[in-house]
Amino acid sequence: MKPIKLTIEGVNSFNEAQTLDFEAVGRNNLFCISGKTGAGKTTIFDSIMLALYGKSGKGDLADVVNLSRMTARVTFDFAANGDFYSVERAIKCRREKDGNGAVTEKRAASSECTLFKNGAPF
C-alpha cells in the first residue's frame, strides 16, 4: 500500500481539518513525521488505522474525538495493486444518559465508513 493523502478533522489535537499530502515528498520518496510532544504525530498513524479498520489504539471511539466537538472525520487515499482507494470514516458522538435519564458528560460514539475503489463506491 502506498499512502497518498490523509485528511484529519476533529480527531484529538487536529480540531480543524488538516491534510497531509504524502505525494509531496522528496525525490527519494522518503518523508519524516516529526514534531514536539503533543503535536499529533501518533494521531496521524492512529487516523490511518481509524480510517481503515474503524478502531483506535485509544480504545473507545469517543475518546479520539476532540473534546470541543461531537464529530470527527478521517479521509485516507492510498494505492494498492494498481488501484486507487479512498476511505472516509465519520465518527458521531452523543451524550450518554444516567439511570434517571439525565444527560451525563460521558460520550458514546458510532461510525460510518464509505469506501471508493478507482472512484466508484466499493
Q: In what order do the strands lie in the sheet containing 83-97?
A: 18-21, 2-9, 71-80, 83-97, 103-117, 120-121
Predicted confidence at residue 57, as pLDDT, reads 80
Over residues 23-43, the pLDDT tens digits come to 887 667 777 888 898 888 889
Counted residue by residue, the chain has a size of 122
Predicted confidence at residue 33, as pLDDT, reads 84
Per-residue pLDDT averaged across 111-115, rounded?
A: 95
Single pTM value for the model: 0.87
Q: Which residues pair with 3 in a beta bridge?
A: 78
> Among residues 67, 44, 68, which one has the least CA distance to residue 56?
44
Radius of gyration of the chain (CA): 16
* Among the ranges given (5-14, 21-30, 57-66), the one the predictor scored with the smallest mean pLDDT: 21-30
H-run or E-run covering 115: strand 103-117
Measure the CA–CA gap between 16 and 109, rounded to whole angstroms. Answer: 19
Measure the CA–CA gap between 24 and 60, rounded to whole angstroms. Answer: 33
